[in-house]
Structure 1
Amino acid sequence: MGRTEYYNDPNAPKANTLIPASNLLVVDGSGAILLQRRRDTGQWALPGGAQDIGETAAECAVRECLEETGIVAEITGFLGVYTNPRHIVAYTDGEIRQQYEDTYIGRLVGGEPTVNDEADGVRFVQSADLDQYDIHPSMCRQIGDHLAGTSPHLG
């Protein structure tokens, strides 16, 4: 399913759903941050996705991280709640989502960076190298908040 992202775009379509999603900002022993390159947009992002019925937001973040990157992580903190009615994601099936994400901080426990059907690149990136990657502005904000130590973000 294809998707188009709109960020502060006055011509974005109106949202018709609000789906709870969770991200996990995983940091390895050297301080590098885990990123995945999304196949649907080509941009680098934190691992994350929609919460399933029957799981907590934190469980969702850990599950999505493993599914999308091959990395096993545990949660060590909470970065914040990121909601932006001007960040719209339109899917080819007609669903148009308003962005809503709980973002957790985690540490590497095991696994190896692994590509899959959602991500064609997975790696740990040092903060000094982040500007070399095409990262969506919403993810840049979350990473920036982490690097600045300004958590939790509430809104």
Structure 2
Amino acid sequence: MPRVDHYQDPHAPAPNSLVPAASVVVVRDGKVLMHRRSDTDRWSIPGGGMEPGEFIKDTAVREAREETGYEVEIDRLVGVFSDPGHVVSYDDGEVRQQFSICFAGHVTGGSPQLSAETREVGWHTPDDLEAMSEDRVHPSILLRVQVALRDETSAYIG
């Protein structure tokens, strides 16, 4: 279903849904694992909604496999990202406030694969990501990458 990200938009629709989600920042050789989403055409870290019966870290592992083809292992918690100014509207009427637990992880196997959700899989330097415009990488994704690369022992809460 098509989606529209509303970020700090005073005209955004009011959220009517909150779905626990997980994402993972994977770094290898100084580059970040990203996939280009089929629904928005933006580059993103792997992530998505939690399914019943899952631990939240398993959501991040599953989403990485589904969206990139890579098997990952979780190393640490990056933070909790729940900005009420970031809502996503879907054509079915759902308007979801973002709520994502972000992890850092590393690749343990697999290879790049495309899916219905993914047009392209690639590894990008942090400088490349920061140079991309908002229509190529969402500010909320860039924030997660920046926080993960700080390699701090305390988690981000925001």
Q: How far off is 1:147 after superposition?
A: 2.1
* Structure 2 residue ranges without an equivalent (≥5): none
Q: How far off is 1:132 after superposition?
A: 4.6
**Pairwise mapping of residues 1-155 of structure 1 onto structure 2 (< 5 A)?**
1-28=1-28, 30-133=29-132, 134-150=136-152, 151-155=154-158
Decide whether the 8 Å contact of 2:36 with 2:43 is kept in 1. Answer: yes
Residue-by-residue CA offset, 1:77-114 (whole Å, 9 max, x unaligned): 11000001110100011111000000010001111111
TM-score calculated relative to the size of structure 1: 0.95
Decide whether the 8 Å contact of 2:3 with 2:90 is kept in 1. Answer: yes
Instruction: Please give the alpha-carbon distance, in whole angstroms, between the structure 2 residues aligned to 1:154 and 1:128.
Output: 24
Instruction: Please give the alpha-carbon distance, in whole angstroms, between the structure 1 residues aligned to 2:138 and 2:46.
Output: 13
Instruction: Please give the alpha-carbon distance, in whole angstroms, between the structure 1 residues aligned to 2:108 and 2:15.
Output: 37
Instruction: Please give the alpha-carbon distance, in whole angstroms, between the structure 2 residues aligned to 1:143 and 1:73.
Output: 16
Instruction: Please give the alpha-carbon distance, in whole angstroms, between the structure 2 residues aligned to 1:142 and 1:132.
Output: 15
Q: Which runs of 4+ in 1 moved over 4 A?
A: none
- The 3-state SS of whatever aligns with 1:33 is strand
* Structure 1 residue ranges without an equivalent (≥5): none
Same amino acid, percent of matched pairs = 40
**RMSD after superposition:** 1.1
Instruction: Please give the alpha-carbon distance, in whole angstroms, between the structure 2 residues aligned to 1:31 and 1:73.
Output: 16
Instruction: Please give the alpha-carbon distance, in whole angstroms, between the structure 2 residues aligned to 1:109 and 1:31.
Output: 16
- The 3-state SS of whatever aligns with 1:35 is strand
